[in-house]
C-alpha cells in the first residue's frame, strides 16, 4: 500500500492562559484511517474547519499526529530515521490552496523548481535545466517562464507552477489542498484536466482535498466525506455520489446542486464538539441514540463505510 | 471601459441573475446602479439608470443616500466587512429603521426583533446585543439581509452574497433570500459566478463578458440551449461526476483587458467559431427566440 493512515487524531492548543499553558484544545482530526493505493485519486470533501488541511499536512509529515500513525509504503513515517525520511519525502509532496501565498515572491520559477533538486542532490547542473524545462511544458507553461517571478503569472498559471514544484522529485503521491478553489470555472477546468492527465499518464496518486463535491466527484475514484474531524462516509465515488448514505453527504450533495438543504445552522465549533455523533445538532433524522453514542465508521456494503447507525433507513 | 452598453431591466418581483467570471464587470454594474463607483477614476459616461421611471443619474448625493437603504437594499459578499465592527448588530438595524422608516421610536426595538426573527435568527434579544465578530459568517449574512430589507425596499441587490460561506450555509442563506423575495415581493438583482445556484433560483439570467451582456434569457433556455459560445464554454467547463474520465472544456486564453479594447466581438480571441466578420464589427444583442437574447453572429443551432 502506498499510503496507510491509521487512527490518526490531531489536537491543537487554542487559547493560552497567563502562564502560557493551553486552556482549551481543538480536536482537528479524530481517529481517521484510510489507504491510498498506487495510482489512485482519493478525494476528501467537507466544510471549512472540518480538518481537511490538517489531514493533508499529517499525510506529508508537516504535522505530527497526536495519536495514530502514517505509513509510507509500509514504513512508519514518524518512526523512521531522519535520513530515510528525507529520502522518502520527495515522493510525498503537497500543493497548497492559495497560489498567491504558496510561492516565494522573490524566487524565480527556476529557483523554485531547483530547490528540491538541490536538497536531494538530484541531477547534475546541466541536466537540471533541461529537466525543469520539460517539466514546465508538461504542466502547460513555457520554457521561457523559468526566468520569471510568480507575480508575472495569473492565478491558474501559478497553480501550474505549484504542481510543477511538486513534480520535481518525481513523487508517487501528491496531496492537493484545494488546488482549484480560488480559480474561475474555465481556469479550474484546465487545471483539473492537467491533474487528470498526470494521474493517467504517470500514475501519480493524489489525495485531492476540496470543499466542492462536484470537483471531487469529477476527479476522484474514491471519496471521503469529513465532518468535524471525522470521516463520516467513505467509498467509491459512484456509491457515495449516486446513493449517499450518511445524512451529511446527502446535504452536501443537494447543496452542490444549488438545491435547498434540510439542515439548520452551521457546524459547531471543534473546540466544543457535541457529544455522540457530531452531526446530531444539525441532522434532520437525529434521535436519542445519536446524542449518546459516538458513531464509528463501519463497513455497510462492500467497500462503502458510513458512520451512522441509521444509514439503512433514511 | 469596464462596462459597455449594459442594458438590464428588472421587473417587479423578479430575480435577475447577473453571471460572469472575475473581471467581467459584475460588481461594477451593481456599484454603478448604486452610484457607489469611486470617482475618479470611475465615472458613468453615458446611459440611464431608471428606477421606477426616474433617471438615477439625475439624483443629488442627498437623494442617493435616501434611496440606498430605503428603496434599494444591498447585500455584499463579505458579511464581516460590510457590517460595522464596533456597533452592536441590533443598533445597526435600528439605525436603518430610524432613517428609512416612519416606525415610532417606541416600537423600533420590537421591529428589530421581528426583523431578526424574519431572517431566521432565533433569540433576537441576545443576538441584537452582539457585535459582528461574535456571530458566525452565516449569522452575519442573515443580519445583512435584515438590514437590507429593514427600509422596506422594492429592489434588493445581492453581490455574491454567499461566496464567503460554507456550502451548507450557502444553501440556507439562498433559501432565506428567496423566501424574503416572495414575502416582501422584492425585485432582486443577484450577482454571482455560480451557474448552478442561478439555475434553481433566477427568473432571468444575464451572462456578462468583458463588460457586456452576451446572452440573456430564462434559465431553462439558457442552460439547456445556450446560444453564445461563451455561455456554452462556461457550462461545459463545469465538472460533473457523469463527465468523469473525459477532459473538461476549457475556454482558451484570458479575459481581455478593459483598457485596450479591440474592434469586433470581445470574445473573438477565445471563440472556437470565430469568423472574419467577428473581428471586424461587434455584434448586437439580438432576440433569437422570445425572451432569449444573444450577442453573436453565429449563435448555436441547438
Ligand atoms: N496550527 C493550528 N493551530 C491551532 N488550530 C488549528 C491549527 N491548524 C488548524 N487548526 C484548527 O483545526 C481545525 C481544522 O482546521 P483545517 O485547516 O484542517 O480545516 P479545513 O477543513 O482545511 O478548513 P478549510 O476548508 O477552511 O481550509 C480548525 O478548527 C482550525 O481552526
Ligand atoms: Mg484547508
Determine the average pLDDT of the residues in B112-124. 90
Determine the average pLDDT of the residues in B254-267. 80
Confidence of residue B26 (pLDDT cuts 50, 70, 90): low
In chain A the beta strands, taken as DSSP E runs, fall at: 3-13, 25-36, 41-45, 67-72, 75-76, 92-95, 173-177, 205-210, 222-227, 230-236, 298-301, 304-306
Asked if residue A228 has its Cβ within 6 Å of ligand 1, the reply is no
* Cell output for B254: 484570458
List of residues 6+ apart from A34 with CB closer than 8 A = A4, A5, A42, A224, A231, A234
Distance in Å, alpha carbon of A48 to nearest chain B alpha carbon: 6
Which helix (H) or strand (E) segment holds residue A148: the answer is none
- Which residues in chain B have Cβ-Cβ distances shorter than 8 Å to A184? 21-22, 193
Q: What is the rounded distance in angstroms from the CA atom of residue B76 to the CA atom of residue B46? A: 26
- Which residues in chain B have Cβ-Cβ distances shorter than 8 Å to A154? 254
pLDDT higher than 50, residue B15: yes
CB B148 within 8 A of CB B75: yes
pLDDT higher than 50, residue B9: yes
CB B159 within 8 A of CB B191: yes
As a three-state string, the secondary structure of B136-204 is: CHHHHHHHHHHHHHHCCCCEEEEECCCCCCCHHHHHHHHHHHHHHHHHCCCEEEEEECCHHHHHHHCCE
Residue nearest to atom 2 of ligand 1 (CA): A12
CB contact (8 A) between residue A211 and residue B193? no
Q: What is the rounded distance in angstroms from the CA atom of residue A1 to the CA atom of residue A118? A: 29
Confidence of residue B40 (pLDDT cuts 50, 70, 90): very low
CB contact (8 A) between residue A192 and residue B239? yes
What is the position in ligand 1's atom list of the atom closest to the CA of A54?
A: 18
Query: To the nearest whole number, what is the mean pLDDT of chain B?
Result: 84
Asked if residue A56 has its Cβ within 6 Å of ligand 1, the reply is no
pLDDT higher than 90, residue A34: yes
The SS3 of residue A129 is helix
Distance in Å, alpha carbon of B234 to nearest chain A alpha carbon: 6
* Contact A256/B at CB under 8 A: yes
Determine the average pLDDT of the residues in B276-282. 94
Best to test chain A binding among B139, B178, B219, B237 (most A CBs inside 10 Å):
B237
Distance in Å, alpha carbon of B38 to nearest chain A alpha carbon: 26
Q: Give the pLDDT confidence of B155-176 residue by residue, as tens digits.
A: 888 888 887 788 888 888 888 8
Confidence of residue A50 (pLDDT cuts 50, 70, 90): very high
Asked if residue A54 has its Cβ within 6 Å of ligand 1, the reply is yes
Determine the average pLDDT of the residues in B83-104. 90
pLDDT higher than 60, residue B54: yes
Q: Tell me how many degrees the CA angle B246-B251-B252 measures, rounded to the nearest 5.
A: 110
Per mean pLDDT, which of A42-46, A47-51, A136-140, B37-41 is the most reliable?
A42-46
Determine the average pLDDT of the residues in B59-82. 74
pLDDT higher than 70, residue A249: yes
As a three-state string, the secondary structure of chain B is: CCCCCCCCCCCCCCEEEEECCCCCCHHHHHHHHCCCCCCCCCCCCCCCCEECCEEHHHCCHHHHHHHHHHCEEEECCCHHHHCCCCCCHHHHHHHHHHHHCCCCHHHHHHHHHHHHHHCCCCCHHHHHCCCHHHCCHHHHHHHHHHHHHHCCCCEEEEECCCCCCCHHHHHHHHHHHHHHHHHCCCEEEEEECCHHHHHHHCCEEEEEECCEEEEEECHHHHHHCCCCHHHHHHHHCCCCHHHCCCCCCCCCCCCCCCCCCCCCCCCHHHCCCCCHHHHHCCCCCEEEECCEEECCCCCCCC
Residue nearest to atom 29 of ligand 1 (CA): A49
Using alpha carbons, select from A82, A169, A167 the residue that is nearest to residue A117.
A169
What is the Å distance from ligand 2's center to A156 Cα? Answer: 19
Best to test chain B binding among A45, A153, A184 (most B CBs inside 10 Å):
A184
The neighbouring-strand residues paired with B70 are none
Asked if residue A51 has its Cβ within 6 Å of ligand 1, the reply is yes
Using alpha carbons, select from B252, B268, B101 the residue that is nearest to residue B112.
B101
pLDDT higher than 50, residue B1: no
Asked if residue A52 has its Cβ within 6 Å of ligand 1, the reply is yes
pLDDT higher than 80, residue B45: no
How much of chain B, in percent, has pLDDT values that exceed 90? 37
Closest ligand relative to A45 C-alpha: 1
- Option in A185, A255, A265 nearest B238 (CB): A185
| DSSP structure class, residue A260 | -
Q: Which residues of B193-228 are buried (b: 16+ CB within 10 A; e: fewer)?
A: bbbebbbebbbbbbbbbbbbbbbbbebebbbebbbb
Beta-sheet pairing, B292-294 with B212-217? antiparallel
CB contact (8 A) between residue B167 and residue A187? no
Distance in Å, alpha carbon of B95 to nearest chain A alpha carbon: 27
* Contact A185/B at CB under 8 A: yes
Confidence of residue B82 (pLDDT cuts 50, 70, 90): confident
Determine the average pLDDT of the residues in A273-290. 92
* Contact A83/B at CB under 8 A: no
- Which residues in chain A have Cβ-Cβ distances shorter than 8 Å to B138? 265-266
Which helix (H) or strand (E) segment holds residue A116: the answer is helix A109-119
How much of chain A, in percent, has pLDDT values that exceed 90? 72
Question: Given this model, what pLDDT does residue A294 score?
Answer: 92
The values of phi and psi at residue A313, to 5°, are -125, 55
What is the Å distance from ligand 2's center to A50 Cα? Answer: 8
Confidence of residue B62 (pLDDT cuts 50, 70, 90): confident
What is the position in ligand 1's atom list of the atom closest to the CA of A97?
A: 27
What size, in residues, is chain A? Answer: 314
In order, the DSSP letters of A1-29 are: --EEEEEEEEEEE-SB-TTS-B--EEEEE
Cis peptide before A4 (omega within 30 of 0): no
CB contact (8 A) between residue B240 and residue A254? no
Q: What is the rounded distance in angstroms from the CA atom of residue B258 to the CA atom of residue B33? A: 19
* Nearest residue in chain A measured CA to CA from B122: A265
- Which residues in chain B have Cβ-Cβ distances shorter than 8 Å to A219? 239, 244
Q: Could you identify the residue written with the cell 497526536?
A: A66
Using alpha carbons, select from A188, A162, A33 the residue that is nearest to residue A93.
A162
CA distances for B254 relative to A2, A190, B3, angstroms: 39, 12, 17
Closest ligand relative to B137 C-alpha: 1
Question: Given this model, what pLDDT does residue B170 score?
Answer: 86
CB contact (8 A) between residue A193 and residue B169? no
CA distances for A50 relative to A33, A227, B171, B280, angstroms: 15, 5, 18, 53
Q: Which of A53, A62, A66, A213 to mutate to test the pocket of ligand 1 (most atoms within 8 A of CB)?
A: A53
| DSSP structure class, residue A244 | -
- Which residues in chain A have Cβ-Cβ distances shorter than 8 Å to B249? 189
Query: To the nearest whole number, what is the mean pLDDT of chain A?
Result: 92
Residue nearest to atom 4 of ligand 1 (CA): A12
Confidence of residue B25 (pLDDT cuts 50, 70, 90): low
Which helix (H) or strand (E) segment holds residue A52: the answer is helix A52-60
What is the position in ligand 1's atom list of the atom closest to the CA of A51?
A: 18
| DSSP structure class, residue A140 | T
List of residues 6+ apart from A281 with CB closer than 8 A = A265, A268, A274
As for the ipTM of the complex, it is 0.86
CB contact (8 A) between residue A186 and residue B238? no
How much of chain A, in percent, has pLDDT values that exceed 70? 99
Q: What is the rounded distance in angstroms from the CA atom of residue A50 to the CA atom of residue A278? A: 11
Question: Given this model, what pLDDT does residue A252 score?
Answer: 94
- If one counts every other C-beta atom within 10 angstroms of the C-beta of residue B88, the result is 16
Best to test chain B binding among A185, A227, A268 (most B CBs inside 10 Å):
A185
Please tell me the pTM assigned to this model: 0.89
* Contact A237/B at CB under 8 A: yes
Amino acid at each position: 500500500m502506498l499510503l496507510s493512515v491509521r487512527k490518526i487524531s490531531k489536537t491543537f492548543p487554542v487559547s493560552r492562559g497567563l502562564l502560557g499553558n493551553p486552556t482549551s484544545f481543538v480536536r482537528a482530526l479524530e481517529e481517521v484511517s484510510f489507504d491510498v493505493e498506487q495510482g489512485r485519486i482519493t478525494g476528501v470533501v467537507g466544510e471549512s474547519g472540518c480538518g481537511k488541511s490538517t489531514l493533508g499536512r499529517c499525510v506529508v509529515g508537516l504535522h505530527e499526529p497526536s495519536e495514530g500513525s502514517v505509513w509510507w509504503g509500509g514504513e512508519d513515517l514518524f518512526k523512521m530515521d531522519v535520513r530515510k525520511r528525507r529520502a522518502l519525502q520527495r515522493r510525498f509532496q503537497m500543493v497548497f490552496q492559495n497560489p498567491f501565498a504558496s510561492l516565494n515572491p522573490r524566487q524565480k520559477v527556476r529557483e523554485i523548481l531547483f530547490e528540491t533538486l538541490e536538497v536531494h542532490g538530484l541531477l547534475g547542473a546541466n541536466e537540471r535545466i533541461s529537466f525543469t524545462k520539460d517539466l514546465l511544458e508538461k504542466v502547460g507553461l513555457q520554457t521561457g517562464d523559468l526566468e520569471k517571478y510568480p507575480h508575472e503569472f495569473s492565478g491558474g498559471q501559478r497553480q501550474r507552477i505549484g504542481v510543477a514544484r511538486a513534480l520535481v522529485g518525481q513523487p508517487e503521491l501528491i496531496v492537493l489542498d484545494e488546488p482549484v478553489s480560488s480559480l474561475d470555472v474555465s481556469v479550474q477546468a484546465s487545471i483539473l484536466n492537467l491533474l487528470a492527465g498526470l494521474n493517467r499518464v504517470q500514475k501519480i496518486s493524489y489525495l485531492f482535498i476540496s470543499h466542492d463535491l462536484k470537483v471531487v466527484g469529477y476527479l476522484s475514484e474514491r471519496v471521503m466525506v469529513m465532518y468535524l474531524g471525522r470521516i463520516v462516509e467513505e467509498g467509491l465515488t459512484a456509491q457515495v455520489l449516486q446513493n449517499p448514505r450518511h445524512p451529511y453527504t446527502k446535504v452536501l450533495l443537494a447543496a452542490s446542486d444549488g438545491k435547498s438543504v434540510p439542515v439548520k445552522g452551521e457546524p459547531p465549533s471543534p473546540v466544543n464538539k457535541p457529544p455522540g455523533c457530531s452531526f446530531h445538532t444539525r441532522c434532520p433524522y437525529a434521535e436519542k441514540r445519536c446524542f449518546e453514542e459516538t458513531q464509528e465508521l463501519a463497513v455497510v456494503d462492500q467497500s462503502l463505510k458510513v458512520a451512522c447507525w441509521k444509514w439503512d433507513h433514511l | 471601459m469596464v462596462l459597455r452598453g449594459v442594458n438590464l431591466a428588472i421587473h417587479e418581483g423578479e430575480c435577475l441573475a447577473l453571471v460572469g467570471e472575475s473581471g467581467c464587470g459584475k460588481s461594477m454594474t451593481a456599484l454603478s446602479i448604486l452610484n457607489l463607483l469611486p470617482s475618479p477614476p470611475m465615472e458613468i459616461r453615458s446611459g440611464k439608470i431608471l428606477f421606477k421611471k426616474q433617471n438615477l443619474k439625475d439624483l443629488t448625493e442627498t437623494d442617493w443616500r435616501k434611496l440606498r437603504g430605503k428603496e434599494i437594499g444591498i447585500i455584499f459578499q463579505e458579511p464581516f466587512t460590510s457590517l460595522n465592527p464596533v456597533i452592536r448588530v441590533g443598533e445597526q438595524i435600528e439605525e436603518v429603521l430610524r432613517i428609512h422608516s416612519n416606525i415610532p421610536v417606541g416600537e423600533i426595538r420590537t421591529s428589530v426583533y421581528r426583523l431578526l426573527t424574519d431572517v431566521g435568527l432565533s433569540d433576537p434579544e441576545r443576538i441584537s446585543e452582539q457585535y459582528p465578530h461574535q456571530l458566525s459568517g452565516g449569522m452575519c449574512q442573515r443580519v445583512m439581509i435584515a438590514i437590507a430589507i429593514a427600509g422596506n425596499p422594492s429592489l434588493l441587490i445581492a453581490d455574491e452574497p454567499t461566496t464567503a460561506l460554507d456550502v451548507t450555509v450557502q444553501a440556507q442563506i439562498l433559501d432565506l433570500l428567496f423566501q424574503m423575495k416572495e414575502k416582501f415581493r422584492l425585485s432582486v438583482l443577484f450577482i454571482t459566478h455560480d451557474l448552478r445556484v442561478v439555475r434553481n433560483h433566477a427568473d432571468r439570467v444575464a451572462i456578462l463578458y468583458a463588460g457586456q451582456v452576451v446572452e440573456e434569457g430564462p434559465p431553462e433556455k439558457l442552460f439547456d440551449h445556450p446560444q453564445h459560445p461563451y455561455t456554452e464554454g462556461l457550462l461545459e467547463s463545469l465538472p460533473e461526476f457523469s463527465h468523469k474520465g473525459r477532459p473538461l472544456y476549457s475556454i482558451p486564453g484570458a479575459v481581455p483587458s478593459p483598457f485596450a479594447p479591440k474592434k469586433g466581438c470581445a470574445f473573438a480571441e477565445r471563440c472556437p467559431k470565430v469568423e472574419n466578420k467577428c473581428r471586424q464589427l461587434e455584434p448586437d444583442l439580438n432576440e433569437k427566440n422570445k425572451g432569449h437574447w444573444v450577442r453573436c453572429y453565429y449563435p448555436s443551432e441547438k
